[in-house]
Structure 1
Amino acid sequence: MNPLTAALEFVESINNEETPDGVSKRIGELGQSFGFTSFCLAAIPESGASFDGSIMLSGWRPEWQQRYLDRDYVQNDPIVAKARTASRPFLWSSVARDRNLSAAAQQVLTEARDYGMYDGVCVPVHGLQGYQGMLIFGGPEVRLNEREISVLHLVGIYASNKVRELVGANTNRPRHRLTPRELECLKWSAAGKTSWEISQILSISQHTADWYLASAARKLHAANRTHAVAEGFRLGLIR
């Protein structure tokens, strides 16, 4: 498909989406049409801040996302570092070639390859009141021309604005910010469903359901799943 046509169809399609999960599905489909296997739409956290509350939509493999968060890789991720100052989309490979990268930064890129992300493109998103975000696509290799990169730039800006509009929250300094999947799993848990039952309802593995619930509990500073559900009700996340 012509890249411009794909972008226009994407913009038109997410205009009709009413949930972040719907936008997430559209981003994943568009990414696949460009040869990408993963994506992440997020606010860029302030230096020293954690990344878990900044993720708006995630198309990362759960194992990689858990590793990234547990090891606080955002502090050394050279892609995030460049996204803070970049105004145009850039390829991961352009960052990887920098001979001044620290060993910690090189380690993040090396481990990403273990999860199938050998290269990618990062789309910086800048908004009102100093908002900074990014849409990251990753995959086995990147073969994009300037026109295609410009198309992804448009997609990143539009998708970010759409999700922020849907959640109706300030995602620049998010607290207790659960991803749509985490919140969905938490709501089913509140309804008395087990991890296995949640996995069947959402068509995911039981391991993945457990991971989403554990991630939600961590973000809510909860000691366990029951505590996380209670915090969800207290904060108005579950109604």
Structure 2
Amino acid sequence: MRQPDEVTTFPQWSPAFLAGAQLEDVRTEYEVLQLLRRCASHFGFSHFLVARLPDGDRRRFSERLVISSWPAELVHGYDGLGIYHTSRLVAEVAQTKRPFLGDHSLMAPKEPGPAADAAAALAGRHELAVSLAFLLHATAGEPFAMVFSGKKAPRGQDDLAQLYFTAVQLFACLEQTFVRHPAVKDKLSGREIECLRWAAAGKSSDEIAIILGISAYTVSSYFKSAAKKLGAVNRMQAIASAMRMKLI
């Protein structure tokens, strides 16, 4: 009987600019975030994001967002437009496995109109003049978009190849954090979940304090503790993580 072909796996690799990073030891989204920051900076980008592609239910962008360096104002502004599922990014990334470049209209709908103009203007205010995007798949097959944005395009084919291979490595690290989510549910307190739920509904810390009958300082403390437990670096990422785990 013929023996199966021997399978060869390559050792873990990281580029020179991530020197000192032990990718196999990465355990939290925060660690992945810091590595993605270093990656983006090395290639001259100011922003990045990883988001699940829409699956037909038209859920909000913030619910599909996994990890990003977008400021809260940009996330809120884009989320409020409700156009992620009709964006050029979603349309283009689903058609090719190759990295592709887009301009400030990448996150806007293909069809012209007020929403497309608003999305392009929002990108312009945050200097998302050029974006490099590509499709990645989780081990189970779920599709994700990874986008690096900034003022200038990549410097050449060698840089593009290194960025892509680095991104695949970092996405593998990010995927490893997904399997650790179920245990977090038992660690979050009822108050922490309430604060995250009201924040996801658009309430400020002061408004949540009034609703829950506690001080704004206490609300802030709940956000900090929830973010730490979720491996997030700020409120927006904590909310996004809680949504993905269906805690809120």
TM bucket, shorter chain: 0.5 to 0.7
Partner residue, 2:211: none
SS at match of 1:194: helix
In structure 1, the partner of 2:25 is 16
Secondary structure, in 3 states, of the residue corresponding to 1:81?
A: helix
Is the aligned partner of 1:194 residue 2:204? Answer: no
- Amino acid of the structure 2 residue aligned with 1:59: S
- Whether 2:157 is the aligned partner of 1:146: answer yes
Is 1:38 paired with 2:62?
A: no
Residues 86 and 110, structure 2, Cα contact 8 Å, conserved in 1: no
User: 1:75-108: CA deviations, max 9, x gaps?
Assistant: 2321222111220111113986xxx942158433
Moved over 3 A (4+): 93-96, 127-130, 185-190, 195-202, 208-213, 215-220
Aligned residues: 199
SS at match of 1:103: coil
Q: Which amino acid aligns with 1:132?
A: P
3-state DSSP of counterpart to 1:46: coil
Q: What's the secondary structure of 1:130's corresponding residue?
A: coil
- RMSD of aligned alpha carbons: 4.2
Residue aligning to 1:155? 166
Q: Which amino acid aligns with 1:29?
A: R
Identify the residue that residue 120 of structure 1 maps to in structure 2: 131
Distance across 1 between alignment mates of 2:235 and 2:139: 36
1:164 paired residue number = 175
Shift of 1:140: 1.7
- Extract unaligned runs of 5+ from structure 2: 1-13, 197-213, 228-232
Q: What is the one-letter code of the residue matched to 2:45?
A: F
TM-score (norm 2): 0.63
Counterpart in the other structure of 1:49? 58
Give the Å deviation of 1:199: 8.1
Match of 1:25 among 34, 40, 60: 34
If you compute each CA radius of gyration, which structure gives the higher value, 1 or 2?
2
% of aligned pairs identical? 15
Question: 1:117 offset after TM fit, Å?
Answer: 0.8
Q: Which amino acid aligns with 1:194?
A: T
Q: 1:200 to 1:132 in 2, by over 3 A?
A: closer
Does the 8 Å contact 2:51/2:66 carry over to 1? yes
1:84: which partner in 2? 94
Give the match for residue 73 of structure 1: 83
Distance 1:19 1:9 in 2: 19
> How far apart are the structure 1 equivalents of 2:32 and 2:173?
8
Aligned residues of 1:125 and 1:156 also touching (Cα < 8 A): no
Q: Which SS does the other structure have where 2:149 is aligned?
A: strand
Structure 1 residue 195: deviation in Å? Answer: 4.5
Aligned-partner residue type, residue 91 of structure 1? L
Of the three residues 96, 111, 132, the one matched with 1:102 is 111
Residues 46, 149 of structure 2: 8 Å contact kept? yes
Distance 1:200 1:169 in 2: 19
Alpha carbons of structure 1 residues 17 and 188: separation in structure 2 relative to 1, 3 Å: farther
Change (3 A) 1:94 1:168: same
Taking the aligned partners of 1:196 and 1:43, their CA distance within structure 2 comes to 28
